[in-house]
Structure 1
């Protein structure tokens, strides 16, 4: 856009009258104060003002402006308004200023940093330029010194953006810097800008805070902040306290994961040295989560989520260590989270199905019962086996409604088999989590389900893990006893994997022990012979029989294993040698006959 050159590159014209000359009335000497004479106000005003012509040249300036800029009138008249107000440095302001001079814009207001002509401290001023108020030729330039206000605002911002305990940048400033760093790194022309983050949490700090008090805790945090700052100083990395005992080190223009890992090693080594706090020698360690990414592929929220997840991994892996973000591990975590959040709705939507694995007599090969195994027909992940979701269901409490559904479905199917094959009724065995005993009235649930389905109690067996049963006391033990009194069989699943008090077995209402597959695997022909395995199994079987219990061997995979287990005295076997878990209709074909090794999924 063409326009006035702001008083440069043009021959001087006749000097226009100053503001004092324009407003002096005829017949009145220069110092008069008659109406319309503004000279006194012009000279006495504390507001810095100048008159600017249409070419942008200063034609007059009051003493307040001369004082603000540290120069005399001659020094101001030699400069353009845009130059003394610092408008040329900003393209947007320069354009708007020219529009005012051309009459295309009413006024311009902005805040600019002014450099005094004779040197000295720079000042901040609110700049305003607009046409002269009396309709005369030219424009009025005013500058209001706001340096003290800016300094106060800066001090307040510093207090607002820094932690009072450690003097480090706080969470707000950290996220501000992080967003700026991401924008800058992502804006590189080739898109190769990277960013790294060390997110750390002190191990054991809460114990120090609770036992020695918050004053000592705050001093320790200050000492930690000092060491972190020293670690980050060589690379110029930002160190911030995000809250509590959490700190972050931001690595802008990251050179890769090795740089980040080296920084984490330096931090761990620095924090492992004891701290002297108020005459007390204190030791802490830190868990650190590391994330290093291309800036163009991430944003602040994702980066912090990834860092928080990785910090959790570091703590879960044993603390006092650093862990690098692993996309595959994170994907597994996200899958677990997705499954956990949809478990309860999945029960309501009936996305689960049951399959049944036969329990076969080791001597005669007759199918004596089945174990009900739940599968999740997930709309996104396909068919999921119990090890993918049962632990999640126990964690979030969904095991209670899921367990009720499994129990009722299995009992209903067992009733159907009983009516179809009255001469060979099948025992149905259902797994029960200990949380079902604590979080629901299992006895009432079982009684109601048996009543609704019409299944006799002696055709139902409930399996609980060894650790759950052997430590039973109070309510769990009472529930097991009431279920046994009802006629329901109780089995200990995975027996031999816990730390059993074998004498305790005689006081439990248990009817069956299911030997863990780790014992049976030692019976494989391809495995080196270990006489101790057979001796242990034989002793367990003999003990169980003396207590009036039956024994089921799990994970039977070959005829040799089945023969040896039968010779030792095991009652029934379960495993792929007989059958994998099958749909209910395929189990019907096996009832009353001999089991053979069949395929299945």
Structure 2
């Protein structure tokens, strides 16, 4: 060390200054020079002083460092030069000065902690290291280092009145904190923190062991995640509290790696706990994938921590903050959805957010004191403690029930609670009925209204049920045995009646008399309504309310059975078909067609007498049993009246619609055939009237049966074609409107007759429906489509297309459809997600309740369901929520409409479908401009002759190979 003195006396000061001016100039040019600073004054009572603010840091100053000392008691400033302890030193120095203003010698220690969380920064944080290599005073020898694992400690002695400048050689340019302590006060502080740290470490260790043991004992998935979090917190506390050095030998550079690794482990276990506890994979599979990728990324940080601990630590801190934020959003969302786990986690997460906010204030330097770092460590342990309580409460809730540790009475109570039934308790001796929960509330009445005497229930019952209810209770009391099983209707506050079912049994007293009757009340309103709808759909037409074909034939057969008994019953059967009804349907839409059918039904009903029967046999065909007229002329007049009633114009949408009908009639003759034969004769006459141009009444003549031979022959040929699999499918492309890619095909039935050539579906489908061949025909189409799809899959790898297949009403109402479809999927091994079943609105409306049940079963197989001809029916919107459709096909009448409101209507329907997560297919697109407009409306798919005509399976495969070039190799 070299000292340079400057005289402070007035005499000779100029001479001295001139003498040393060249040397001072050299010092300014070639050595670092600290600015003048004042020493920190120390007295006997100063036990702890923070020197951080009064310490000057000089970075990158080289191996030799020169500085002016603080003025001594004599007012003289001196210059000292200090050299680095190693040539490899970067030249980072710290300078401070101390002045003992007391009259006695003072012993102090200078303390510079290796790590300080305060102001360590969020990104690229300072993870700690050795701070001071050596300290050189301006007087005396270099200071002795005191042993300390987590701080640089140097002992100094200050003589009375001494002013000493200290130059500290730093290992890094950062010196987060430097303290001057009275030795005993420093020792007491260390001991106090050691006690606190020991308590916190003990609690953290016990929590980790406890949660691990519970995981071994209980085995639920949330416990290992909680145990992992507790062990990660314990590891962090061990590093932060300096306990790791007591277990293994750790250098200052190794400590940075351990600290970064502990923070990464803490962030990773935090993500795992949140995912496992909230069971996020249950809510959406993508959450599981995202969490797994997040954990993999954090796992890679363990490797990064070895090479650059600061980067790993910064990313871990950011991950912790993001996890806490994401957890807050999830807990709020799931809490509003009544998810009990999320609700239980609210207190713990609130504490986590408070801890996170405090940590942010600390690492950014906004919160600066000596207790904040150990306090945050204790806060982490408190968080784990609260999480442990939450997890244990959840894991062991209901454990007694899971292990069967409850009595038969408790089991029965749980079963009753789970059934949702209401307990009905009638105290016979006091004549008081009590229900639990109170049935009055379910009926919208004031609580306790239905509690009381049994007679109080009578006014609330349906008038038709009151006598039966009283009689049932009286019989039970008289016989003193048996069970009460009674259904009745009771009026709610809104005036509607609810169907309730009481099932109870009597409790006998010691004298054999009934003292009470206890059982359950079940609300069976929905079941009753479903049964009623099923019965109604099975017997009548859902649109018009008329009897269907089966009921019509049954009534006709009953009339025919009475006809031979006498002359009073001579029935006439009429088959009435509306001319050009399909044209009206296609032009004006299904809504117009439905309204026309309803209007015609009302007109025809006005012509009938009570003993006559009107039925809807099919889409636009009515059947009529005329019993009230026997005279041939009066029958002919009645038929003409029917024809005129149909011809009366119908007003719809500000336009008049005039319709005609083709009517065939046949009267009963002795020994005539059964009901089906008589109806067939009437239909033959109707077909003759239609072929003659329609708008006429045609009586049946036996010669018409020869013309029916062709129909029978075609039926026989169709049956043979199905058996020999001579029918084929043609595939019309369905494209994606946004990019023009091929999305799939619609399968259309084709029949190439060996003699008659190509027969259109409009001819052989009605024959199949009338002859009962539509079901095997439909299954043939479905299986052939699945087979063709599998053939295409073998030719082209990972083919992302679907095939739509139409099904008929007969198939939909077949109870075996679900089993047939499932067997077909097993045989063909076709992916059900690539098959769509298309149903029209009219098919669904034939029997809505049965359709709902069958479609729900079909949906279980994985098939897609499409509602065809959507947008033209008056009730189509209800289907979107009532039936499990995932695709709607816009009718071409709606797409090709040129009215001003077309775009508004299309845009609304498409937006509604997308909101319901349904796909939309637009049919009948005529121009590229229409396709572009629909694409801008976010319509998914398009299907029309603009994009391709129906073609053979081989042609479809060639088209697929053009679009998808990934071909499998043999």
Range into which the TM-score falls when normalised by the shorter chain = 0.3 to 0.5
Q: Which has the larger radius of gyration?
A: 2
Higher RCO, 1 or 2 (CA under 8 Å, sep at least 6)? 1
TM-score by length of 2: 0.29
Task: From the two aligned structures, give the one with the greater helix fraction.
Answer: 2
